[in-house]
């Protein structure tokens, strides 16, 4: 089975290379090498023995004076409690790595927000310090039919790779719901070569040079599934406004006690 997956990846890389040579411009090549590729990192977690385990792909999308914000997929590091309708970060240490050649560098990444996958919000936000400089990739608009795109992902633990593809359906009109998967109105992509480890990677529409979607999975290993960028924008807005009720930073945190008035009204737990 592993041999088949590797063969599929090799064939995909061949097709991707052919497509690349046919349609990528010199301007886009410069953009990939100088901006997109260095803005992409690999997400790791640390096991109890201290070893690093590669999980997914992440992209730097924002920064402040002291930190960067990365986005990847929620299923890469968040867990859901469907009895309480909440989602929380896994209890582990997360790291992002730029995956540069030579000595490997890991930056501790703190969870900032998890999307509730049952709602289709397959997003995981993390924050790192600015020990290493990362370019920022802006959030753009949702893709359109036949938009060409570039994707940098880390399939099968082989490091960051560059892929080229096109949008086959910008919003699938099917109720694709199974367990914690909700891909209703997701984006369908035709892209050769990517596999496990590419989840969370950004889809850069060439006409925008901005993120238009995020890879979250595949169907029958032939069609890639991506979440439109508008969902991430709405998720971040609700999270910042304190309106995203499904995210709980720590399920073990004590309940907050608030006093309704100073007239003896019993306190209520929230």
Instruction: Quote the pLDDT of residue 253.
Output: 55
Instruction: Quote the pLDDT of residue 192.
Output: 75
Instruction: Quote the pLDDT of residue 109.
Output: 98
Instruction: Quote the pLDDT of residue 158.
Output: 84
Contact call for residues 228 and 171 (beta carbons, < 8 A): yes
**How do residues 136-156 score in pLDDT, each as one tens digit?**
999 999 999 999 999 999 987
pLDDT at 175 exceeding the cut of 70: yes
Q: What is the mean pLDDT of residues 218-224?
A: 81
pLDDT band at 252 (very low <50, low <70, confident <90, very high): low
- Which range among 52-56, 58-62, 194-198 shows the weakest confidence by mean pLDDT? 194-198
% the chain with pLDDT above 70: 83
Question: Which one is predicted more confidently, 255 or 80?
Answer: 80
Q: What is the mean pLDDT of residues 121-149?
A: 97
pLDDT at 199 exceeding the cut of 60: yes
Q: What is the mean pLDDT of residues 147-175?
A: 91
Domain chopping of the chain, boundaries: 2-240
Structure tokens at 158: 């082989």
Q: What is the mean pLDDT of residues 181-205?
A: 87
pLDDT at 96 exceeding the cut of 60: yes
Question: Which one is predicted more confidently, 220 or 186?
Answer: 186
As a whole number, the mean pLDDT across the chain is: 85
Q: How far apart are CA 223 and CA 50, in angstroms?
A: 36
CATH of domain 2-240: 2.40.10.120
Q: What is the mean pLDDT of residues 120-140?
A: 97
* pTM, 2 dp: 0.83
pLDDT at 269 exceeding the cut of 50: no
Q: What is the mean pLDDT of residues 172-191?
A: 86
Instruction: Quote the pLDDT of residue 239.
Output: 97
């Amino acid at each position: 089975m592993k041999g088949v997956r590797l063969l599929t990846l090799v064939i995909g890389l061949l097709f991707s290379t052919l497509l690349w040579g046919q349609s990528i411009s010199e301007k886009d090549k410069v953009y990939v090498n100088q901006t997109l590729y260095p803005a992409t990192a690999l997400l790791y977690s640390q096991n109890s023995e201290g070893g690093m385990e590669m999980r997914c792909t992440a992209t730097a999308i924002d920064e402040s004076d002291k930190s960067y914000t990365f986005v990847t997929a929620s299923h890469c590091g968040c867990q859901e409690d469907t009895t309480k309708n909440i989602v929380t970060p896994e209890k582990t240490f997360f790291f992002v790595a730029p995956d540069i050649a030579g000595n490997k560098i890991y930056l501790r990444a703190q969870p900032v927000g998890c999307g509730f996958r049952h709602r289709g919000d397959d997003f995981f936000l993390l924050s790192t310090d600015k020990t290493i400089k990362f370019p920022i990739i802006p959030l753009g608009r949702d893709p359109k039919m036949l938009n060409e795109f570039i994707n940098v992902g880390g399939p099968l633990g082989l490091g960051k790779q560059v892929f080229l593809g096109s949008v086959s359906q910008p919003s699938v009109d099917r109720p694709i719901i199974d367990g914690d998967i909700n891909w209703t109105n997701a984006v369908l992509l035709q892209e050769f070569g990517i596999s496990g480890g590419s989840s969370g990677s950004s889809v850069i529409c060439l006409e925008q040079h901005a993120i238009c979607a995020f890879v979250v999975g595949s169907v029958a290993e032939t069609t890639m599934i991506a979440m439109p960028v508008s969902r991430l924008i709405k998720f971040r807005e609700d999270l910042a406004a304190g309106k995203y009720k499904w995210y709980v930073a720590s399920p073990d945190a004590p309940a907050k006690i608030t006093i309704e008035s100073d007239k003896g009204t019993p306190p209520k737990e929230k």
